[in-house]
Amino acid sequence: MYQININYSSIYQAIAFWIMLSIGMILVVKKLGRGDTKLWQYFIPGFRYYRLGSALGIEKDGLVLCILEIVVDVLNYSPYFLSDENVSLILTLFAFAAIVALFIYQLHLILTVRKIFGLSGWWVLVAIFADGLAMIYAGLSKKVQPTEEFFKDEDWQAGTQPVEFEAHGLRHKSGRIPDKGLTVNVRERTVKDFNRKRYLLKDIRLEIPNKSLVLLLGGSGAGKTTLINAITGYEKADADVYLNGTDVYRNYDEVKYRIGFVPQQNLMRMYDTVDHTIKDAADLRLPVSMTHSEKKKKIQEVMEMLGLTAGTDGLVGKKSGGWLRRISIAMELVSDPELFILDEPDSGLDGVIARELFERLRDIADENKIVIAITHTPDRVADLFDKVIVLGRDSGRVGQLCFYGDVDEAKAFFGKDTMEGIVMSINSKDAGGEGRADEFIKKFIEYREKKESGQTEQEAAG
């Protein structure tokens, strides 16, 4: 019978070092102010590295360390219980490779702690040989404190603490289901970033009537694309979205055919003709119950509206940028969507062609549709829009609503003469803006509440 020889003194020593390191991790995390009440998690082999890595802002490294520590512990003790010497040897070699990888990632973690606390090279040397003692020293010593730069780490903080504004009356009244236009009430849109909940959007309410051409403005990272995805149901949020009385989320399989979306890129075959490209889109998007003549009539209407009737037998790849954008629009418009969204449709186009393109979008909106467009050069076409949505990134780096209303109303609200001036007022100072997003988010909440309370009083009087 195979005899198991276990060195209990080595096991006791390993347990002691394990407990010391866990205590050191707890002390470090508590000093950083990023810990939680579940301190027992720091005593779980492997998982403790994940928790520490998360607190230090290196979640991925923490996850790798978590896996490596578990693998090393399993491989270290498995040879004791195996009678086959060849298998034991192979496992020992695997254990050695895992230990090397573990050491490399541990060293990176040690250097990260050193950088955050401004520790000396001597501390690093001690940490390599006695990481538990080094961590306990960093956690207990009053002389060792996190650097100011660490608390300014916006990437770690981004979206974790949205700003809560007083008198936030942005919720829809219960039981109200609009039967016309687009109604949006995004309570929040969040994602899970490892063990942290991040907010992308918060408290956005819009009521857009039909026959509206709407401009969507916002600085970099304000959540324009995220809002579009939430409205279309492509990436659902904690929200209520109604399109002409239909709940978009509950009836997504039906409603998705009533929404058209044109991305920044022209997604079409360059070696096909314009005519075939739009016909293929019609075959894919129109109901199979439609007759050939009905489809042909619809395609002709769309092509006439967008000025595509001449040269339809030419190759798509030979057309100009303006033509390509109109073809992209035609591919979506042929299904006669009630809601039409375009992400930078004028990208790369000169002023005259861009103006002509937005005039076509104005015509589409006038056909009892809602058209929402993002553009980085809004002032050359601002007069064509009925409404403007302005998203700003609050000081917690969460997208919130800074304004929704008429174009002239927006200029007066922000005290700016141009749409670009409005964007600069809410952009962060790091991005060259004025950094006033919080100010305007709060101002719009109060502005809207006064406006709506006035309407309520008039309704009551009527």
Per the listing, tokens 């490779």 go with 97
What letters, b where the CB count within 10 A reaches 16 and e where it falls short, cover 363-387? ebbeeebbbbbbbeebebbbebbbb
CA of 429: how far to CAs of 161, 314, 402, 421, in Å? 20, 48, 17, 14
Kindly state the average pLDDT of the residues 192-200. Answer: 71
Residue position matching structure tokens 């040690």: 110
Q: Using an 8 Å Cβ cutoff, are 397 and 428 in contact?
A: no
Condensed to tens digits (0 to 9), the pLDDT of residues 3-18 reads 545 556 767 777 888 8
The residues with which 315 forms a beta bridge, in sequence order, are 273
The Cα–Cα gap between 188 and 199 comes to 7
User: In this structure, what token pair is assigned to residue 121?
Assistant: 């090279």
Residue bearing the bigger pLDDT, 267 or 241: 241
What's the confidence (pLDDT) of residue 29?
86
Q: Are 159 and 149 in contact (CB under 8 A)?
A: no
User: What pTM, to 2 d.p., does this model score?
Assistant: 0.69
What's the CATH superfamily of 182-461? Answer: P-loop containing nucleotide triphosphate hydrolases (3.40.50.300)
Count the Cβ atoms, other than its own, within 10 Å of residue 175.
Answer: 5
Query: What tokens appear for 134 in the block?
Result: 């080094």
**Segment 36-46 mean pLDDT:** 77
pLDDT at 1: 42
* Residue 285: both structure tokens together: 């998007």
Host H or E run for residue 405: strand 399-405
How far apart CA 156 and CA 61 sit, in angstroms, is 14
Residue 179 reports pLDDT greater than 90: no
Q: How much is the pLDDT for 395? A: 83
pLDDT, tens only, 60-96: 888 888 898 888 877 766 655 555 566 667 777 777 8
Closest C-alpha to 140, from 19, 16, 30, 18: 30
Q: What is the pLDDT of residue 318?
A: 77
Contact 30, 139 (CB under 8 A): yes
Model confidence at 21: pLDDT above 80: yes
| Alpha-carbon distances of 275 from 249, 271, 272, 286, 333, rounded to whole Å | 34, 12, 8, 16, 14
Average pLDDT over residues 417-436: 89
Among candidates 170, 294, 321, which has minimal Cα distance to 238?
170
Domain assignments of the chain as residue spans, ordered by start: 8-153, 182-461
Of the chain, the percentage scoring pLDDT greater than 70 comes to 85
Are 216 and 227 spatial neighbours (Cβ–Cβ below 8 Å)? yes
Determine whether 150 is exposed, middle or buried from the number of CB atoms within 10 Å of its CB (0-12, 13-18, 19+): middle
Per-residue CA distances from 166 to 169, 170, 193, 440, 441 (Å): 9, 11, 28, 13, 11
Of the listed ranges 224-233, 261-270, 392-401, the least confidently predicted one is 261-270
Residue 246 has pLDDT above 90, yes or no: yes
How many Å apart are CA 195 and CA 193, to the nearest integer? 6
Query: Which helix (H) or strand (E) element contains residue 343?
Result: strand 339-343
